Copies of this chain bind each other. A is one copy, B any other.
Amino acid sequence: MSSTMQNKASLPVIKRLPKYYRYLSNLQADGRDKISSSELARMMGTTASQVRQDFNCFGGFGQQGYGYNVRTLLSEIKSILALDREHSVVIVGAGNIGHALTNFEGFASAGFKVLALFDVNPELVGKEIKGRPVYASSELEDFIRTHDVDIGVIAARRSAAQGIADRMVQAGIKGIWNFVPIDLVAAVPIENVHLNDSLSELSYKIEHGVLND
């Protein structure tokens, strides 16, 4: 991608890109060759004009009327999302969530490689979780520096999370995937997975009968 193109993509467009990617992956898995903007829009609950507008942010892709080639479009979006190259990952917090993420299918399918976990619990340090070593939390910075780690997953205690983020950033991490229910502050991109928020929203929707999203 040229640097001029990214400037055209607003946050709502950026947020829709992974969804396009997911739908196109599923279409390709189902053996589809072509898809029109209107059919893609219908599947995704949006409009054909929205789809074309979104894709125009990245230079278009394929012809209107004739439809998009699924494989080409998927590969273009994959490249824009930078999912066409390997990312290295460390996970801090080898508890419940950290443990599950070690084997998260989505990492492998997106070319993300979990190198190691870190924990403060001496009973976990030195062990392996699904083939990955668990190191002492104090070794985090050194590891990030020597292995040029791209992404730090934070699945630690709430009180420790901001400190971990600070140390990650100082050691040169490029982005943070946060599973702790606080909004971290950092000078690198952060994605929060606030499971409690999602559960609370579901609870509200059930109580008040809210169906749509």
Residues in A lying within 8 Å of B, measured CB to CB: 1, 6, 9, 11, 14-15, 17-19, 21-22, 26, 44-45, 80-83, 87, 96-97, 99-100, 103-107, 109-110, 112, 150-151, 158, 174-177, 181-183, 187-191, 193-213
Contacts and interface: CB of A to CB of B under 8 A. Distances in A.
Contacts of A99: 100
A11 B206 contact: no
Contact of A112 (B106, B110, B199): B199
Contacts of A150: 206
Contact of A96 (B1, B104, B110): B104
Given A189-B210, A193-B195, A201 B100 contact: no
Contacts of A204: 14, 17-18, 80-82
A200 B104 contact: no
A63 B193 CA distance: 33
A69 B17 CA distance: 41
Contacts of A206: 82, 150-151, 174-175, 188-189
A45 B192 CA distance: 15
Given A181-B106, A208-B1, A208-B6, A200 B96 contact: no
B200 A26 contact: no
A109 B158 CA distance: 14
Nearest to A103: B96
